[in-house]
Amino acid sequence: MARLDGKTAIVTGGGAGIGAAIATRFASEGAHVAIFERDASNGEAIASQIKNDGGSAASLEVDIASLESVKDACARIDRIDILVNNAGISAIGNVETTTPEEMDRVYAVNVKGMYHCLHAVVPSMKERGSGVILNLASIASKIGLDDRFAYSMSKGAALAMTLSVARDYAKAGIRCNCICPARVHTPFVDNYLDKHYPDNRDEMFEKLSAYQPIGRMGKPEEIAALAAFLCSDEASFVTGAAYDIDGGVMSIR
C-alpha cells in the first residue's frame, strides 16, 4: 500500500511508542516522515530504522514546548502535507495532589506544544489549500479516569483544539481529526509498573489490561493503522471527528 505516497508528514514524539509506530507506518505507506523529537538519539534511531527498511525519514531535534524551536524545524521542511500531534507527557494525581509545577509542565507540553505545532503549520496548509492534521487525544478527554487530573485536562484541550481547527479551516481544505485511545502498551506503561508496582507487577499488568472490555491493552501499531487511514485520501470526507480506539471502553464498559 502507498496511501501516503508523495506526502510529507510531521510526527511529533516520533522516537518512541505510538509516535514511532505512526512514523514507521507512514513511511511504509510512501510518506517522507519528519520526526520531531526532543530526545535526538531516539528520533535518529527510528529514522535510521525507517531508512534501513527502504523508507524516507529525517529526525529533527525539537522541543515542542518552544514555539521558536517548532518554527525553526518547520522552516527546514519544504512542504508539510500532514501533521500528527503525538508528543505528550503523562501525570498521575488528583486535583489535591497535582502541584502547580506539574500542572504547568503538562500544560506546556500537551497543550501549548500542540498549539505551537498548529500555529506553525496551519498557515502554509491554508495558503496551499490542503492539509491533514491528526491530534492524539485520549478517552480521558471524554470520561473521568482515576488520578489523571492534569493529563485529562490536557487531552480535553486536544479534543477542543481539534474541533476548533476543523471548524475554522474546513473551507480552506484542511481536515483535522483526533484519536482517543484507551490504554496502549508502550514503554511508558512498563516503566510505570516497574516504578510503582515492583512487587506485584504482573498482577497490575493484568488489571490494567482488563480495564478494556476486549481484555488487553492496545498496540501502538493498531493506533498507527487508524492514523494512516485518517491521514490518507480515503478519509477525505472525515473532519472534526474524535475516533475511539479503546477495546470497547466507551461503548460496552
The one-character DSSP state at 235 is G
- Phi, psi of 219, rounded to the nearest 5 degrees: -110, 140
Under 8 Å between Cβ of 179 and 227: yes
pLDDT score of 249 more than 90: yes
Active site residue 151: yes
Write down the pLDDT at residue 37. Answer: 98
Per-residue pLDDT averaged across 34-53, rounded? 97
Report the 10 Å Cβ neighbour count for 236. 9
Measured between alpha carbons, how far is 122 from 183 in angstroms, rounded to an integer? 30
Per-residue pLDDT averaged across 193-205, rounded? 92
| pLDDT tens for each residue of 101-121 | 999 999 999 999 999 999 999
Distant-in-sequence, close-in-space partners of 200: CB < 8 Å, separation ≥ 6: none
In the structure grid, which three cell numbers stand for residue 130, read together? Answer: 490542503
Per-residue pLDDT averaged across 119-129, rounded? 98
Q: What's the chain's Rg over C-alpha atoms? A: 17
Burial 109-121 (b: 16+ CB within 10 A, else e): bbbbbbbbbbebb
Write down the pLDDT at residue 192. Answer: 84
Catalogue all structural domains in the chain, each as residue range(s) with its CATH number. 8-182+219-246 (3.40.50.720), 185-217 (no CATH)
Counting other chains too, the contacts that 101-107 makes at CB distance below 8 Å and 24 or more residues apart are 102/150, 103/150, 103/153, 106/150, 106/151, 106/153, 106/154, 107/150, 107/153, 107/154
Is residue 1 very low, low, confident or very high in pLDDT (cuts 50, 70, 90)?
A: low
Measured between alpha carbons, how far is 84 from 33 in angstroms, rounded to an integer? 10
Helix (H) or strand (E) holding 206: helix 201-210
Per-residue pLDDT averaged across 42-71, rounded? 98
pLDDT score of 99 more than 90: yes
Which residue among the candidates 151, 169, 192, 243 is catalytic per the annotation? 151
Q: Look up residue 207 and give its amino acid.
A: K
Measured between alpha carbons, how far is 117 from 71 in angstroms, rounded to an integer? 8
Under 8 Å between Cβ of 152 and 102: no
Q: Mean of the per-residue pLDDT values for the chain?
A: 97
Write down the pLDDT at residue 163. Answer: 98
| Distances in whole angstroms, Cα of residue 102 to Cα of each of 39, 109, 193, 221, 234 | 20, 11, 20, 30, 40
| pLDDT tens for each residue of 207-247 | 999 999 999 999 999 999 999 999 999 999 999 999 999 99
Nearest to 54 by CA among 77, 78, 33, 40: 33
Measured between alpha carbons, how far is 41 from 178 in angstroms, rounded to an integer? 28
Per-residue pLDDT averaged across 174-182, rounded? 98
Measured between alpha carbons, how far is 188 from 180 in angstroms, rounded to an integer? 17
* Percentage of the chain modeled with pLDDT above 90: 96
